[in-house]
Structure 1
Amino acid sequence: MGLRQTAPWPIPAGARVSNQVKVGYYQVKYTWQKQGWRYEARWHERTPHARLITRPSWRLDRARPGKGYGPDAAPRLVQTLVGKQWLPIRQLRYCARRYNDGIATPAEIHLLQIAHPAPREDHND
C-alpha cells in the first residue's frame, strides 16, 4: 500500500507527486486542481525541533487565484483544511506564532493539532 492511501482525505490518483528531502526530515507533496482550486497535500516525517506536532503528519491546503481588476475582482484565497472546515491559512499561521510565543489559547493549540492529522492506519475502504 502506498503513502497516498494513508491520507485522511482522498488524493486523486492523477495527482502530481514530489519527494523532497528537507533539512532533517523527508516530505512528500501531492498537487492537483479541481473546480478552480489548486490543492496541495503534504505528508512529512516528524520535523526537527517540533514541540507540538511530534509525529508524522498530513496537511491539506488549497489556493484559488485572485483577479485584480474588473467588476468581478477578487482576492487570492489560501485555505487549510482543519477538521472538516476550510480556514484561512493566515489564521493557522497566527495560531502557530502565538504558540511559539507561549501565549496560544487551548482553542488555538487544538486548531493546530487538527490541521495536522496523523496518517490513517485503517485501509479497508
Structure 2
Amino acid sequence: MSAELFRRLAKNADRFLTACAFQAALGVATHEAGIAPEDVKKPRRGNQNRREAATAALQEAIYLTVVHYERPQRSVSRAIGLTQPAIHKGIRAIESRRDDPAYDRKLDELQLTLMGAA
C-alpha cells in the first residue's frame, strides 16, 4: 500500500470516527434537552426556548465529542462543518457553565450515558 493511499484512508477513518462520536453525543444531548437532533441542524423560527435548547445541545455535543471521545477540535470542525473558532467558542461556553455544580453533574451524567453506564 502506498503512503499516499494509507494517508487518505487514515484521514477518512478519522473523519468517520469523529462524525460518529459527534452523532452519539448529539443524540444524548438532544434527548436530555427534549428536542430532536433535527432541531439542532435546522432550528425552527419563532420558538426562542427551543432555539436556546438547540444551541445548548449543540455546544454540549461538541464539548462531549472533544472531551469524552478525545477528538481534536480541528477534526470536529471538519466533521460537522463548523469553523474552528465556533468549535472553540462552544467548548468555552460549556467550560464556563461547569462552575455550576448542578450543570457539572448533568454533563457527568451525559458522559455516563455515552459510556452506557446510566
Does the TM-score normalized on the shorter chain lie above 0.5?
no
TM (normalized to structure 1)? 0.27
Q: Compute the TM-score of the two structures, normalised by the length of structure 2.
A: 0.28
Q: Determine which structure has greater relative contact order: mean sequence separation of CA pairs < 8 Å that are 6+ residues apart, divided by chain length.
A: 2
**Structure number having the greater strand percentage:** 1
Of Structure 1 and Structure 2, which has the larger fraction of its residues in helix? 2
